[in-house]
Amino acid sequence: MPVRILHYERVGSTMDLIHVLAERGAEAGTMVVATEQLRGRGSRGRDWHSPPGGLWLSALFRPPTVAGLEVLSVRVGLALARALDACGAVPVWLKWPNDLMLDGRKLGGILCEARWQGGTLGWVAVGVGLNVQNSIGPELRSSAVSLVEVTPGIRSEDVLELVAQAIAEIDLGPERLSPAELEQFAARSWLEGREIRQPLCGIVTGLDEDGALRVRTMEGSQVSLRHGSVELAGATNSR
């Protein structure tokens, strides 16, 4: 889809702003980029620290159907990981359902929100937050990372074009992940083969075509997780 990028110095939230623009009739492909977010948000209502130097972007989609919405965050993650490969940030791993990991720490997050008009899908907003050249506070250095730590000299504007184009090329249509997409995710899955303690205890064994995370419980049964915050066994926090 054609891309139109709107730049702002400071906003409350790029997601809130893209929803306002969508309600006013903005076309698919409209993207909002902010130097700084004052009230950036991540999944499950968490605040996302969004200082200057990071890439804080939200994009507008107007899909004709709801097909593909359940697997959208997986497709966005795969697209972003491929784009970041071109920045020299390899390997970028994907932590289900919506985190990007680098060097064992969180590099960025994805947030997908749909808005309905009556019983009809109105639009979908995709938010991306990436630590690029922004510094990470001492309290987060063990769990978060910026691209500049592994790619010295990189700037958020260097990443913007690659990320925007990658998002614009995502195909929202297919309702289920293809075998190729599942293979690509498996190659980058940060949780694959690891023991988790939340939202249940077990070993992560893969991803279903509907985007659910497969977990083998300690009793040996297979469970598919469709939502929730995943914590590794022995982890001290859930980032």
Structure tokens at 229: 């915050």
Residue 46 has pLDDT above 70, yes or no: no
d(CA 72, CA 74): 5
Residue 53 zone, left/alpha/beta (φ > 0; ψ -120 to 50; rest): left
Residue 6's Cβ-count burial label (10 Å; 0-12, 13-18, 19+) is middle
d(CA 127, CA 124): 10
Residue 199: the pLDDT is 92
pLDDT tier, 43 (very low <50, low <70, confident <90, very high otherwise): low
d(CA 86, CA 166): 11
Q: Which residue has the tokens 């978060």?
A: 144
Residue 227: the pLDDT is 87
Rounded CA Rg of the chain: 17
Structure tokens at 207: 């991803």
pLDDT tier, 237 (very low <50, low <70, confident <90, very high otherwise): very low
Residue 88: the pLDDT is 76
Residue 56: the pLDDT is 97
Residue 51 has pLDDT above 50, yes or no: yes
Residue 239: the pLDDT is 36
Question: Do 15 and 111 touch, CB atoms closer than 8 A?
Answer: yes
Residue 48 has pLDDT above 70, yes or no: no
pTM over 0.85: yes
Residue 234: the pLDDT is 80
List, in order of start, the domains of the chain with CATH numbers. Answer: 4-188 (3.30.930.10), 195-232 (2.30.30)
Average pLDDT, the chain: 92
Report pLDDT digits (tens) over 136-175: 989 888 999 999 999 999 999 989 999 999 999 998 888 9
Q: Residue 217: beta bridge partners?
A: 202
140 alpha carbon, distance to own chain's centre: 19
